[in-house]
């Protein structure tokens, strides 16, 4: 078992292997389809970030450098004092971000991507090069995971809608499992290959 605090150093990432249990601590950012698309179109693919987008860009560069992004569309509650509370914080299926993830990892120096279901070859390659890892969060445990979210610090792009906004959250002992590591190992690929072989055996191919 590993206990890591964001920002995470390269050597800490290299020490992780597929199958390791990790408890994350520190500040992470949520981001789903709209956030990833926005980051790629407004920050990564442009020659220069516009003056309007510059404050958010600078903030994300700070938060994500050595940090983690969580594929999550939370259920939130706005409290009487104007602050927010996470009621449910389950992971979103990550493969939807495959078209963006490698670029986001490299551009922002991400060390962790959190979600469920795993990701593809481009993300695995980026994990090796960066280095970074994919952390699998348990699906169906949204309320339990929300207990690890100790504070909602702020939210960006709320105009995208609550699930698609970029929530900046402080987490404590956030439970995840490494399923894609920086050494090129993907548990998801292994299971897929084993399942394919078993299916071929069952149908006699």
Which domains does the chain show, CATH number per domain? 2-203 (3.20.130.10)
Mean pLDDT of 143-163: 93
Decide: residue 26, CB within 10 A, 0-12 exposed, 13-18 middle, 19+ buried. Answer: middle
Task: Give yes or no for a contact between 72 and 92, defined as CB atoms under 8 angstroms apart.
Answer: yes
pLDDT tens, position by position, 51-93 = 999 999 999 999 999 999 999 999 999 999 999 999 999 899 9
User: In the chain, what percentage of residues exceed pLDDT 90?
Assistant: 84
pLDDT value for 199: 58
Q: Report the catalytic residues.
A: 36
pLDDT value for 197: 63
Bond into 110 cis (ω within 30): no
Contacts of 201 (CB under 8 A, 6+ apart): none
pLDDT value for 138: 82
Task: Give yes or no for a contact between 103 and 40, defined as CB atoms under 8 angstroms apart.
Answer: yes
pLDDT tens, position by position, 78-134 = 999 999 999 999 899 999 999 999 999 999 999 999 999 999 999 999 999 999 999
Measure CA 177 to chain center. 12
User: Whole-structure pTM over 0.85, yes or no?
Assistant: yes
Task: Give yes or no for a contact between 153 and 169, defined as CB atoms under 8 angstroms apart.
Answer: yes
Bond into 70 cis (ω within 30): no
In this predicted structure, the answer to whether residue 203 has a pLDDT above a threshold of 70 is yes
pLDDT value for 189: 72
Token output for 32: 């789903």
CA pair distance 102, 125, nearest whole angstrom: 8
CA pair distance 56, 65, nearest whole angstrom: 14
Give the bridge partners for 174, in sequence order.
24
Read off the pLDDT band of 143 (50, 70, 90): confident
Decide: residue 27, CB within 10 A, 0-12 exposed, 13-18 middle, 19+ buried. Answer: middle
């Amino acid at each position: 078992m590993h206990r890591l605090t964001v920002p995470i150093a390269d050597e800490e990432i290299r020490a992780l292997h597929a199958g390791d249990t990790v408890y994350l601590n520190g500040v992470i950012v949520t981001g789903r389809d709209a956030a990833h698309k926005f980051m790629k179109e407004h920050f990564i693919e442009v020659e220069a970030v516009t003056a309007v987008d510059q404050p958010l860009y600078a903030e994300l560069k700070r938060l994500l450098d050595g940090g983690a992004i969580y594929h999550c569309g939370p259920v939130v509650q706005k409290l009487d004092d104007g602050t927010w509370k996470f009621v449910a914080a389950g992971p979103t299926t990550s493969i939807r971000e495959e078209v963006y993830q490698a670029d986001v990892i490299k551009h922002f120096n991400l060390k962790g991507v959190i979600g469920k279901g795993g990701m593809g070859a481009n993300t695995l390659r980026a994990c090796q090069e960066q280095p970074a890892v994919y952390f699998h969060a348990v699906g169906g445990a949204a309320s339990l995971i929300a207990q690890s979210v100790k504070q909602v610090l702020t939210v960006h792009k709320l105009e995208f809608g609550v699930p698609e906004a970029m929530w900046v959250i402080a987490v404590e002992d956030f439970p995840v499992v490494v399923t894609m590591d920086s050494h090129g190992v993907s548990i998801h690929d292994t299971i897929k290959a084993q399942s394919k072989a078993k299916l071929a055996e069952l149908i006699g191919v």
